[in-house]
Structure 1
């Protein structure tokens, strides 16, 4: 089995208590992002056709990040998302390989499930880059109240030979969400 060498992990937690001077009955919005900074096995290699090594190794990372995100959130998540950064000696496809359904299914299992596809974003970047990881309701993509994002940055990463693999969760939708669309109750039917 392939493994990705983890250089470091990083976690980010944000709690929003009110928006526009108001809150609602659901309480604070908590967002958690957990990141694994790993060595890119294909950095500096030019074009490589078969990226299976990263895809297969991502299962373990998905489980690990999911378990840590769930522990930091402290309650079952309602929203999730994933993202990735690749250093300049790699290509965007390398980090996309780390975020396929192999990663996604392991992440879902670790956080207690989810029926909807996991929103995602990736890019090539340098150290201290920021990325807005999209979030959406974990059981139905059409629940608008949960469309959100979490800005994530990992100090000193990605270095040129790194991949930064990100799993994000939230405990609820946006505070004071009011643009209509399907509700979580309707999605549960």
Structure 2
């Protein structure tokens, strides 16, 4: 990955089998895949961050493909985000997860009409990153409003950025707050 060398990939899998004492008919599986990469913008202000935006589809395709492979079944929910190390700024990590990155993630999960929710911040190595999840085709599928937290150990260094994607195979266990159900999704406008 010329220009933004990757030091490490992080993969985290959680699988919830029950919730509130009720065994799930189908476990909720969440996968997060992150890349820890060099941040050439760290240390001083840069007006032009377009190099990261232009390169980001390559990263979105890579991370999305890795996440779907680990999930092992169709992804129904997704999210994205990242952490800029303390030598960088939030704008640096946002430059890696804008629309071109999101479009590549959509392609990698087999399409998605809905907005890809995201979360970004600046943090020291080991800062947890909570990534939002929402249904990939319809934002108003309430039982898919969820999140997953990545625990990145010693990343990112001050001059690095951690960029991550999250996917899930279903909505929350025991969801019971109404809204559109996943089997009612139209998927044309990204909302319903």
Normalised by the length of structure 1, the TM-score is: 0.96
Show the 5 A alignment for 1:6-21: 6-21=6-21
1:33 and 1:185 map into 2 onto residues whose CA distance is: 25
1:102 aligned partner? 100
Give the SS at the match of 1:188.
coil
**How many angstroms does 1:80 deviate by?**
0.2
Distance between the aligned counterparts of 1:3 and 1:57, measured in 2? 9
Q: Does 1:22 align with 2:22?
A: yes
Secondary structure, aligned partner of 2:108: helix
Preserved contact between residue 35 and residue 165 of structure 1 (Cα < 8 Å): yes
**Whole-angstrom distance in 1 between the partners of 2:54 and 2:73:** 29
Q: Which of 164, 178, 181 is equivalent to 2:179?
A: 181
- Residue of structure 1 in register with 2:42 after alignment: 43
**Correspondences of 1:31-180 after superposition (within 5 Å):** 31-45=30-44, 47-180=45-178
The CA distance in 2 between the partners of 1:187 and 1:24, in whole Å, is 22
Check conservation: 2:17, 2:24, Cα contact below 8 A.
no
Distance in 2, Cα, partners of 1:111 & 1:129? 27
What is the CA-CA distance between 1:155 and the residue it aligns to?
A: 1.4
Q: Unaligned stretches of 5+ in structure 1?
A: none
Shift of 1:142: 0.6
- Kept in 2, the 8 Å contact 1:2–1:53? The answer is no
Alpha-carbon deviation of 1:2?
A: 6.4
Provide the rounded CA distance (Å) in 2 between the counterparts of 1:68 and 1:56: 20
Take 2:75 and 2:137, find their aligned partners in 1: how far apart are those partners? 11
Q: Please, what TM-score do these two structures have when normalized by structure 2?
A: 0.94
In structure 2, the gaps of 5 or more residues are 188-192
- RMSD of aligned C-alpha atoms? 1.3
Q: Does structure 2 retain, via aligned residues, the 8 Å contact 1:13–1:30?
A: yes
Shift of 1:157: 0.5
* 8 Å CA contact retained: 1:158, 1:164: yes
SS of residue paired to 2:66: helix
